[in-house]
Amino acid sequence: MKKLAILGSTGSIGTQTLDVVRNNPDLFSVSVLSCASKLDVIRRQIDEFHPEMVVLANEKDALEMEKDYPGICFEFGNIGLEAAASSDCDMVVNALMGIKGLAPTYHAILAGHEIAFANKETLVAGGALIMGMAHKCGVSLLPVDSEHSAIFQCLQGNPVQRVKRIIITASGGPFRGYSLEQLENVTLEQAMKHPKWNMGPKITIDSATLMNKGLEVIEASWLFDMPLEKISVVVHPQSIIHSMVEYEDNSIIAQMGFPDMRVPIGYALSYPDRLPNDLPSLKRFEKAPELSFELPDMETFKCMKLALDAMKAGGSYTAALNGANEALVQYFLKGRIRFIDIQNMLDEVMQHHKPIYKLDLPDILRVDRDARVAVKMLVERS
Question: In 90-154, which ranges are E strands?
Answer: 91-94, 114-117, 141-143
Specify the residue, 127 or 296, whose C-beta has the smaller distance to its own copies. 296
Compute the distance between CA of residue 84 and CA of residue 107 in angstroms, rounded to an integer.
9
| Minimum distance from residue 301 beta carbon to its own copies (Å) | 17
| Minimum distance from residue 205 beta carbon to its own copies (Å) | 26
| Minimum distance from residue 259 beta carbon to its own copies (Å) | 11
Specify the residue, 25 or 112, whose C-beta has the smaller distance to its own copies. 25
Specify the residue, 33 or 234, whose C-beta has the smaller distance to its own copies. 234
| Minimum distance from residue 186 beta carbon to its own copies (Å) | 24
| Minimum distance from residue 232 beta carbon to its own copies (Å) | 8
- In sign, the C-alpha dihedral spanning 100, 102, 105, 111 is negative
**Amino acid at position 180, single letter:** L
Specify the residue, 3 or 284, whose C-beta has the smaller distance to its own copies. 284
Specify the residue, 17 or 34, whose C-beta has the smaller distance to its own copies. 17
**Which spans of this chain sit near its own copies (rule: CB under 8 A)?**
153-159, 162, 164, 167, 232, 234, 241, 244, 246-258, 260, 263, 266-267, 272-277, 279-282, 284-295
| Minimum distance from residue 281 beta carbon to its own copies (Å) | 5
Residue 266's φ and ψ, nearest 5 degrees, are: -60, -40
Compute the distance between CA of residue 199 and CA of residue 366 in angstroms, rounded to an integer.
29
Q: Is the peptide bond before 51 cis (omega within 30 degrees of 0)?
A: no
CB-CB contact of 84 with 53 (8 Å): yes
Specify the residue, 275 or 373, whose C-beta has the smaller distance to its own copies. 275
Residue 289's φ and ψ, nearest 5 degrees, are: -95, 180
CB-CB contact of 296 with 236 (8 Å): no
Compute the distance between CA of residue 42 and CA of residue 36 in angstroms, rounded to an integer.
10
